[in-house]
Structures are given as structure tokens and as C-alpha cells.
């Protein structure tokens, strides 16, 4: 029988000790589940939410297409077609669930508060449902179209206020003045 040299036994012993010493210790209870990269799942979700929050609406804009419209012909305007865009933090138009509120006020000249008496309003338009959201969305404009029944008086100026309530509770608003066609 051949004897194994002592140096070979020592080398094998050292290799086994090193392999045992390099293994990670695992505990029975972990405070948070880990993902493949070693980060906790909560940290990964937080990173994802942070990335997508840059694309959430940050500004509301009333488009110049907003106008008093009617049936056509010699009929006076009978509604206000409101076109509004939501802009993300990069200034790009975006689509989002949320609630729109449209209000029309009498315009008060030479006043620190140009909004006078409220003349008409559109009850809250809930666009959290995808089908309802799509029905108001005009993709070619990258904007929402909302219609308010209102017959304006010729020669008067009005103040339009639009508000958007984001799902996270953020409130965006915009205002503009409007004159009906002569």
C-alpha cells in the first residue's frame, strides 16, 4: 500500500477549510426578502417607483384649441370644448388616470382676482377607468377633450379653470381667458 504524502494531506485540509469558511452564513429569519441582486424587494420596488414617478403628470396645460362651439350654421355657440394636456417632468405630453374638474367664471377686469362669479362647471370627470379615459383622449393631439354645456354672451370675457387630481393626491391646475366668437 502506498502512503499519501503528508504535504498532499495538508493541502487538501487547507482547501476544505477555506471552502467551508467562505460560505455565507444564513439565518433562519430574514427581515426582508431578497431579490437576485441582493437588494431587498422593498428597495427594488422603491427604485422602480422612483423611475416611473418622473413620467407622472407634473403640469396641466389648457390648449389654444379650447373654444366655444355649437351646432354650426347661424346657431349661437352652445358648449365649450376644452382641450387639456398633461405634461410630465420632462415636458412631454402624457396620458394618466385621474379626475378632471372644469369651471367657467365671469372675468373681472382690473382686479387682483380676475375670477368673478362661477357661471358653469363640469361635474368631476373620473378618468381612472381605462374605457372612460380612452373616450376623452384624443391621441392625434396628445390631449383630453372635455365638453361643458354653456351658451356664452357676445362681447363678454370668461375665465376657464381646469384642475386635475392625480391618483397620488397631487393637484394640478391651469387657467386661461376666453372670448366667444362674434
pLDDT score of 43 more than 90: no
pLDDT band at 172 (very low <50, low <70, confident <90, very high): very high
Q: Can you tell me which residue has the cell 469558511?
A: 21
Q: For the chain, give the percent of residues with pLDDT over 90.
A: 53
pLDDT at site 10: 73
Q: Is the pLDDT of residue 115 over 50?
A: yes
Cell readout for 117 is: 362669479
Percent of the chain's residues with pLDDT above 70:
81
What is residue 133's three-state secondary structure?
helix
* 123-140 tens-digit pLDDT: 899 999 999 999 999 999
In order of their start, the domains of the chain are: 59-178 (2.60.40.1930)
Name the residue among 150, 136, 148 with its Cα closest to residue 86: 136
Round the average pLDDT of the chain to a whole number and report it: 84
Amino acid at each position: 500500500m502506498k502512503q499519501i504524502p503528508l504535504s498532499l494531506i495538508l493541502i487538501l485540509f487547507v482547501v476544505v477549510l477555506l471552502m467551508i469558511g467562505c460560505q455565507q452564513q444564513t439565518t433562519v429569519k430574514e427581515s426582508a426578502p431578497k431579490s437576485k441582486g441582493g437588494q431587498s424587494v422593498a428597495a427594488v420596488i422603491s427604485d422602480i417607483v422612483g423611475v416611473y414617478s418622473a413620467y407622472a403628470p407634473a403640469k396641466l396645460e389648457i390648449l389654444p384649441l379650447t373654444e366655444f362651439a355649437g351646432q354650426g350654421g347661424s346657431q349661437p355657440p352652445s358648449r365649450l370644448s376644452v382641450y387639456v394636456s398633461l405634461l410630465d417632468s420632462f415636458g412631454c405630453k402624457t396620458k394618466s388616470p385621474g379626475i378632471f374638474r372644469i369651471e367657467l367664471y365671469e372675468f373681472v377686469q382690473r382686479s387682483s382676482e380676475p375670477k368673478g362669479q362661477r357661471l358653469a362647471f363640469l361635474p368631476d370627470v373620473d378618468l381612472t377607468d381605462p374605457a372612460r379615459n380612452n373616450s376623452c383622449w384624443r391621441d392625434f393631439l396628445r390631449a383630453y377633450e372635455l365638453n361643458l354645456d354653456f351658451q356664452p354672451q357676445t362681447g363678454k370675457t370668461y375665465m376657464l379653470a381646469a384642475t386635475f387630481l392625480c391618483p397620488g393626491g397631487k393637484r394640478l391646475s391651469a387657467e386661461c381667458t376666453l372670448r366667444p366668437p362674434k
